Structure formats: C-alpha cells, structure tokens
Amino acid sequence: MVKQWLIILAALVFPGAALAAGGYPVYPDDEIKVDWDDKAAMQRGARTYMNYCMGCHSLHYSRYNRVGADLGISDDMMRDNLIFTTDINGERTKVGALMTNNMSAAYGEEAFGVVPPDLSLVARSRGTHWLYNFLRGFYVDEERPFGVNNGVFSNVGMPHVLVELQGLQKANYETVTDSAGNESQKIVGFEQVKAGSMTADEYDRAIYDLVAFLDYVAEPYKQTRKNVGTGVIIFLLCFLVLAYALKREYWKDVH
Ligand code: HEC
C-alpha cells in the first residue's frame, strides 16, 4: 500500500518516473539542459517542427507572429518559409493565425489508431528529458505497423518521421533478471543499419533544437519571468539597504 502511494507521489512529482516504474525498458536515457537564451537553436527547432511535425501535431495555443516576435523571425520570413497550411478559402494561413493544422480527429484515428495530440504543452507534461530521448529512440521493429518501435514510448502509434535525417537503427538487447527472478529483455544500445542525411551528432543537435523550441512553446514567458524575477530580487535587496539605513536614522536618537 505504502509502495503504491509512493509510486503515485513519484508520478506526480516526476512525470517520467511513472513510465520507468511501468517496467518496460527505457532507452536512450541521456540528459539535456535547454538554454533559454539560445534563440538560434529555437529558430532551427521551429523550422524542423514546421517541416516534419506540424502536419500531424498542431500548436493551437500559439500564433505564428507571436512565435516570430519572441524568436526573432520576421513576419515575411515566417510567411515565406514556415507557414505551410491554408485556411478554409484555400489561402495561405495568415501570420496572425493560431498554429492549427488541417487534420481531423477522425482521420488521425483512422490512420494512426490514435489522434496525434496537440504538442503545445508537451514539454511540460512529458518534460524535455523525455522528449529528447523519445525523438532519438525509434528503432526497427517489423512487427509494428510502421516498422518502428520506440525505446522510450513502447508501441508508439507515431511513425519515425525523421527517418530521412537519422536513418534507421536497430536495438541491441540484454537479458536482465529482476529481484523476483523474472527475466526480461532490456535495450542496451542502438546500432545504425541505414544511414540518414545527418551524422549521429548532427541528429542529436537537431533534436536538441527541436526540444528547445517545444520548451519555449510550452512556456513563452519563461525567459521574461526569469529576467523579471532577477530584477525584483535586486530591487528588494537595494530596498533592504535603504530601509535599514532609514531605520538606523530614525532610531539613532531614541537609544
Ligand atoms: C504522420 C503523423 C505524425 C507526424 C508527422 C508526427 N507525429 Fe508525433 N505522434 C503521432 C501520433 C499518431 C502520436 C500518438 C502516438 C500514441 O499515442 O501511440 C504521436 C505522438 C507524439 C508524441 C507523444 C505525445 C504524448 O505526450 O503522448 C510526441 C512528443 C510527438 N508525437 C512528437 C512529434 C514530433 C516532435 C514530430 C516532428 C518531428 C512528430 N511528432 C511528427 C503522429 C505524428
């Protein structure tokens, strides 16, 4: 009973932990630390997102021009290079529009078995660590409908959409025995079986950029909040000095 409560508590505190507690092998498991000041990375991530993800996953809390203003992408640049959708009249979507796509829930359900979720808040619900590994965790599995499985999201309904960049990798397994004596297969490494257009390092970098973009989208005010927070603390410290000096001045004659 206590153990169950601990798992629930852990799941609330660390969203990724619940998956690990589920027992299936999680691989890869590399660290990522997003630099909130790195606008260039976020711009590259936005480009990858618009090209490879937007068709299935909308970002319906964001507007194109707001993302542009935050990341330093001009409206013209946005319109010419990053907007690929059209509105109901068949005209190119306006830069002031919300970042939705044209896929209906019914189509998504039929094509993938699950509707591809909106990814506006995924960096918060799943965390950047999970995303970074999930997007690098696709491996060949002929038994799956799209020929790939994922080391972080077992039996995922999403195809490996970045296969032309990463190429294909196969998983190497090791048999592990848990404390109760049950044997299971655990992924311990990947091996490249088909080259993509990027090297492994370049692909990791591209995924870092993509995750940085999703992290920004999930909380556009993060950087502002940090700056305002620092300003407020500095103000309070200055005020403390003043208030203390004033207090000394007032009480000087009393003692
Ligand atoms: C062809 C459609 C398609 C494309 C393109 C696509 N996805 Fe997906 N994605 C899916 C589907 C379907 C799911 C749901 C999988 C499931 O629940 O089994 C999914 C799930 C996800 C999830 C897990 C969401 C969650 O919290 O459960 C993430 C993260 C994700 N996709 C990121 C991306 C990124 C980043 C790209 C672009 C590089 C991308 N996807 C491109 C179809 C797509």
Q: Does 33 fall in a domain?
A: yes
Q: Does 17 fall in a domain?
A: yes
Query: What's the rounded Cα separation, in Å, for the pair 10 and 234?
Result: 35
Q: How far is the CA of 159 from the centre of ligand 1 (A)?
A: 8
pLDDT digits (tens, 9 = 90+) for 14-68: 655 444 444 455 899 999 999 999 999 999 999 999 999 999 999 999 999 999 9
Q: How far is the CA of 240 from the centre of ligand 1 (A)?
A: 50
Q: Does 251 fall in a domain?
A: no
Point out the ligand 1 atom lying closest to the alpha carbon of residue 53.
37
**How many CB atoms lie under 10 A from the CB of residue 94?**
13
> Nearest residue CA, atom 1 of ligand 1?
56
Q: Does 49 fall in a domain?
A: yes
Q: What percent of the chain has pLDDT over 70?
A: 91
pTM: 0.86
Q: What is the pLDDT of residue 121?
A: 97
pLDDT-based confidence at residue 10 (cuts at 50, 70, 90):
low
Q: Does 180 fall in a domain?
A: yes
Point out the ligand 1 atom lying closest to the alpha carbon of residue 103.
2
Distances 129 to 78, 123, 148, 177, 219 between C-alpha atoms, Å? 28, 9, 21, 27, 16
If you search the block for the tokens 């090297």, which residue do you land on? Answer: 199
| Positions of E strands within the chain | 59-63, 98-99, 138-140, 148-150, 167-177, 183-195
Query: What's the rounded Cα separation, in Å, for the pair 54 and 125?
Result: 19
Q: Does 52 fall in a domain?
A: yes
Query: What's the rounded Cα separation, in Å, for the pair 37 and 32?
Result: 15
pLDDT digits (tens, 9 = 90+) for 89-113: 889 899 999 999 989 999 999 999 9
Point out the ligand 1 atom lying closest to the alpha carbon of residue 108.
12
CATH for 211: 1.10.760.10
- The mean per-residue pLDDT over the stretch 148-157 comes to 95
The residue segments making up the domain with residue 21 are: 2-218
Q: Are the C-beta atoms of residues 86 and 28 closer than 8 Å to each other?
A: no
Structure tokens at 61: 């809390």
Backbone angles phi, psi at 5, to 5 degrees: -65, -40
Q: Does 227 fall in a domain?
A: no
- The mean per-residue pLDDT over the stretch 65-77 comes to 95
Q: Is residue 138 scored above 70 in pLDDT?
A: yes
Q: Is residue 253 scored above 70 in pLDDT?
A: yes
Structurally, the chain folds into a number of domains equal to: 1
Q: Which residues line ligand 1 (CB under 6 A)?
A: 52-53, 55-57, 112, 114, 116-117, 119, 122, 126, 131, 134-135, 156-159, 161-162, 210
Q: Is residue 74 scored above 70 in pLDDT?
A: yes
Which of 47, 56, 124 most suits a substitution to test ligand 1, by most atoms within 8 Å of the C-beta?
56
Q: What is the pLDDT of residue 26?
A: 87
Q: Does 234 fall in a domain?
A: no
pLDDT digits (tens, 9 = 90+) for 166-225: 999 999 999 988 888 888 888 999 999 999 999 999 999 999 999 999 999 999 998 889
Handedness of CA 33, 38, 41, 43 (dihedral sign): positive
